[in-house]
Amino acid sequence: MKSSTYNPDVLNCLANLSNDEVFTPPTLANQVLDLLPQELFSSPTTTFLDPVSKSGIFLREIVKRLDKGLETKMPNRRERINHILRKQVFGIAITELTAHLSRRSVYCSKDASSEYSVTRFKTASGNILYKNINHTWINGKCKYCGASQEVYDRGSEAEQYAYQFIHTDNPHTLFNNMKFDVIIGNPPYQMNVGVEKENYAIALYDKFVLQAKKLLPRYISIIIPARWYAGGRGLDAFRDEMLHDDSLRVLHDFPESMDCFPGVEIQGGVCYFLWDRDNKGLCKVYTHLNNKVEEGEPRPLLEKGADTFIRYNKSVSILRKIQKKNESSFESLVSTQTPFGIITSYKGTPQKTDPKDLKMYISGNEKEYKGGCAFAPNKMVTRNHEMIGWHKVYISKAYGGGMAFPHMILGRPFYGEPCSICNQSYLVIGPFKNQKESENVISYIRTKLFRFLVLQKKNAQDAMRGVYKFVPLQDFSHPWTDEMLYKKYDLNEEEIAFIESMIRPME
């Protein structure tokens, strides 16, 4: 009796380079390929480009589909494989290491000109390019990707991370002006530029998507972080372009990145999409959450009155009901960050050193600061002096708390008495008539509906004033409960159940 043996796919076993450069599992690569019209794999003229090849998984799986799809048109398998590898499948690796890995996955040899290559090319690279090019420095930054010259001007012998596909004004020249039917891949997500702090990073994935559009392929399907929906440093123009692009026809959204990439946590989740040049219209959104997939009706990427993407299909009807009231936004009560001009690192003193010192709320676990309270002289306040005397509410400017649902979304608000201030850890909400009105506002913030509406704009730890845009103002002469709000906005049982499933109580 023969014993069965387990022969795993080696590309399932790769460890990720980092959370910025994530290898694509074979299963996920095939899910992305399933978005494409499958007749593409039965045509000997369809051309594919992965401009960010890491493991070569997309190219390998494309070759497998073409090999099967072209069987009847090209019965001789040797001729068929030669044709596919030479005429249909192309890639650009992101590093020298991934160039070797990609060629090994596709050609069975890191040297495409060797006798071990499935198809023997004249060059070692075959149709999977890699060139260690330099950044183009202007005033200390790369004009293409924004990399810091201080960090990445390393000399020709070191890896520059100047990704070939986006470091050119004319990507057509990379393959001699060849036209591609499909551009597909999983690009590097960000680059550490070490400007303001060690882990300060800028987004890169948007640049790959925009460069792919320049080539005007028939289809684009790329895996990227989902922060572009509502936030992300430097992504405003990209978000505006994507949300107004009616060629974006399918979007698969993963609010929890581990549902897409097991073991990889990416704040805000990830997504992949299908861009169809010749078939414009509404977008069908699929939400992957808690091991379930929700398929929505085709809808606009940009809802009326919104400037960001409404992530959850079930949120749309709730938001529309609330917007019918035409109420002002709670955002108008929320301060900008650093409300008193005092940075987070300033902690003041544990006790008053002068009778005129102001009570200052800070974050942290320093034992000498009881209850997160410190004291600071009035001269430390450099802006918004009028807020010192307000009855107000303080709330954290950032809240993570894990992104698994049901989630709190915001830190706990608390009353801010007159003659109190805070450092950069908090935002100020106000002004209010007295402590009672402030506490009524707190009751509103604690409701699930309030925090659910914040969730529509918040997809990372930061909770600056902009995340409160969809929250309507209320009459704060009395406290609020969810039951009161559900009735006011005529929410049905299904909508209420969805809110309750997404937001946990704020005890």
- What pLDDT was estimated at residue 13? 47
Cβ atoms of 446 and 383 within 8 Å: the answer is no
403: tokens are 């992104």
Question: Model's pTM, two decimal places?
Answer: 0.85
d(CA 209, CA 220): 8
- What pLDDT was estimated at residue 458? 86
Report the residue count for the chain: 507
> pLDDT tens track of the chain, all 507 residues?
444 554 555 455 444 555 456 789 999 999 999 999 999 999 999 999 999 999 999 999 999 999 999 999 999 999 999 999 999 999 999 999 999 999 999 999 999 999 999 999 999 999 999 998 899 999 999 999 999 888 888 776 677 889 999 999 999 999 988 999 999 999 999 987 764 455 578 899 999 999 999 999 999 999 999 999 987 788 999 999 999 999 999 999 999 888 888 888 888 899 999 999 999 999 999 999 888 898 888 999 998 878 899 999 999 999 999 999 999 999 999 999 999 999 988 999 998 999 999 999 998 766 666 668 899 999 999 999 999 999 999 999 988 765 566 789 999 999 999 999 999 999 999 999 999 999 999 999 999 999 999 999 887 788 899 999 999 999 999 999 999 999 999 999 999 999 999 999 997
Domain residue spans in the chain? 11-189, 226-311, 330-502
DSSP strand pairing (182-185 vs 219-225): parallel
- Burial string for 447-483 (b: 16+ CB within 10 Å, else e) reads bbbbbbbbbbbbbbebbbbbbbbbbbebebeeebebe
d(CA 443, CA 450): 10
d(CA 265, CA 10): 22
Indicate the CATH number of 330-502 among 3.90.220, 1.20.120, 1.10.8, 3.10.50: 3.90.220
- What pLDDT was estimated at residue 19? 46
- Burial string for 341-358 (b: 16+ CB within 10 Å, else e) reads ebeeeebbeeeeeeeebb
HEC sequence for 320-354: HHHHCCCCCEHHHHECCCCCCCCCCCCCCECCCCC
Query: Using CB atoms within 10 A of its CB, is residue 399 exposed (0-12), middle (13-18) or buried (19+)?
Result: middle
Nearest to 432 by CA among 393, 479, 474: 393
Strands (E), 186-241: 190-192, 201-203, 219-225
Cβ atoms of 470 and 308 within 8 Å: the answer is no
Cβ atoms of 248 and 275 within 8 Å: the answer is yes
d(CA 193, CA 201): 5
Cβ atoms of 460 and 420 within 8 Å: the answer is no
- Burial string for 101-131 (b: 16+ CB within 10 Å, else e) reads bbbbbbbebbbbeeeebbbbbeebbbbbbbe
- What pLDDT was estimated at residue 6? 44
Name residue 237's beta-bridge partners.
none
d(CA 490, CA 477): 22
Contacts of 221 (CB under 8 A, 6+ apart): 32, 33, 35, 36, 182, 183, 184, 272, 273, 274, 275
Residue for token digits 């702090």?
A: 197
Mean pLDDT (the chain, rounded): 90
Q: Kindly report, residue by residue over 378-427, the tens digit of the pLDDT.
A: 999 999 999 999 999 999 998 876 556 678 999 999 999 999 999 999 99
d(CA 81, CA 44): 11
Q: Kindly report, residue by residue over 96-138, the tens digit of the pLDDT.
A: 999 999 999 999 999 999 999 999 999 999 999 999 889 999 9
